[in-house]
Structure 1
């Protein structure tokens, strides 16, 4: 992280189309996980509109094909269940040729009951982090062959709710907390970007993490029916608001394709700008990034743990 946070001409109200205007991605290939709903759709649309060949990596292939048809351009659809490492490994093995942009966008949020993945790990950590970790490792050679690749790790201000609790990532001893588990997984998304950049920069691969903003999307499907309304009230009380889906996809799109991010890696962004480091969590919409999410020692420790948990070590 630099002493002076990186600033761009864009901000809270910017849309994905605006941040990528004038960028030509012809000849570039991109993968967007979770590209059949929410901000994944608009991220994929922006990349495709700029000329990229985009693959929507999704659980619901039928929904993916509907989105691909709506977007137009060169958009493919492939099955991917991030909670299932066999699915992740199969997807990576089937990929051929270079990969210029990997947008790790898919996720689950605040599952109300402790749920384990097929490999035996807490479902939010397994889906949001371990699945994307294994995917990136499986696609490393494709990214390296691109001659300058970017990984976009979609995190959240929810990371401020919890560091990675290395001694108990699966809640074997702690009481399960839906938002604590979500926060842990989102911290892991930031730490992944830090360590991937350290390890892979020499291969021409850079990774950054981001908070898309408060947006009402299917991500909240596990939450009570009145959650979105309550959250919106809290955001407005803090002097901010929900974003549209097009605005919510802006920071992902910026990190994926803007020349403003050339040579930049291992950082955390919100509202299209690098976020400040904060020393405590405050109210909704306040933002910032926790020091533990950027800590190099934590990032290296998580990488090593993830290799063990995915069987890739």
Structure 2
């Protein structure tokens, strides 16, 4: 690991993924982007393919994935854009994807997500947002650990959110079996889990040369918000001015921090951190929507979550 000084870059909230990766050659690198057929996943994949990487879109909807792949090939000229089926809420699907992967993996972008959904449960009874956003990506990354270690200097990108400020991981009742279900608290704790995963994976996998960082992409209107009503969005838009302002980004801008975490030489050997607007985030200040909560970087919580995740998936 490098020094603990915060990472800062010349990029801003307005920077695009293409600008962030400009001048970086990813020829010979192999990348997976979950949820690569929609939203910021498309623009993350486009930027990485444009820099020469082989990019696999890991998607639930294969037809949408194929359409996206054709678009990326046409716009980047890179024919090494592949599509593979992956349902993060299905343990068998994740295991099958990991087992089918052959050879090294240089970058895993855990991008897919579910936001503020109504109460849905997997066949195992797991709350769907936690199952998809955290457990599925946890199973995927650990299932691909050998491929990541084989790459030498591999990176895992954990797409979190400022919504992690809404809730720590409530270890006593992760799946809302005792407390009333709240879609935003469920989303929030799943996004905290994404940061805690980065903390613990970086610690465990440091000797394998694997670094894991989390990030907040920004507010982008995509299919991620399909469960959010226009009234909800109006309330978000009304938070204009001051420290709680919602600033909407384009998908190209929303993908920038993911691409930075995946590719920037400034992050060589750097892991277990949380980024926003292309810089490492400062500690959260009450009354704002920025920064990272102390509980999301807590090493003891990160270790506990790792063990619970292993136990849950093995049950």
> Is the TM-score greater than 0.5?
yes
Pair 2,225 (structure 1): closer, same or farther in 2 beyond 3 Å:
farther
Conservation of the 8 A alpha-carbon contact between 2:95 and 2:143: yes
Offset, 1:167: 1.0
C-alpha distance in 2 between matches for 1:278 and 1:31: 30
C-alpha distance in 2 between matches for 1:80 and 1:198: 27
Q: Which residue of 1 aligns with 2:266?
A: 260
Unaligned residue ranges in structure 1 (runs of 5+)? none
Instruction: Tell me, yes or no, if structure 1 residue 289 matches structure 2 residue 297.
Output: no
2:227 to 209, 222, 231: 222
Q: Which residue of 2 aligns with 1:164?
A: 169
C-alpha distance in 1 between matches for 2:37 and 2:298: 33
Offset, 1:311: 0.8
C-alpha distance in 1 between matches for 2:108 and 2:99: 15
Instruction: Tell me, yes or no, if structure 1 residue 140 matches structure 2 residue 145.
Output: yes
| 1:255-285 alpha-carbon deviations (Å, 9 max, x no partner) | 01111211110000000000011253x24xx
| 1:20-58 alpha-carbon deviations (Å, 9 max, x no partner) | 000000000000000000000000000000000000000
C-alpha distance in 2 between matches for 1:35 and 1:290: 28
TM-score (norm 2): 0.95
Q: Which residue of 2 aligns with 1:199?
A: 204
Instruction: Tell me, yes or no, if structure 1 residue 305 matches structure 2 residue 308.
Output: yes
Q: Which residue of 1 aligns with 2:87?
A: 81
Mapping 1:1-313, distance limit 5 Å: 4-72=5-73, 73=78, 74-112=80-118, 114-236=119-241, 238-239=244-245, 241-280=247-286, 282-283=287-288, 286-311=289-314
Where 2:55 maps in the other structure, the secondary structure is strand
Give the number of aligned pairs: 308
TM-score (norm 1): 0.95
C-alpha distance in 1 between matches for 2:266 and 2:70: 30
C-alpha distance in 2 between matches for 1:149 and 1:310: 24
C-alpha distance in 2 between matches for 1:95 and 1:37: 22
C-alpha distance in 2 between matches for 1:102 and 1:3: 24
C-alpha distance in 2 between matches for 1:60 and 1:186: 23
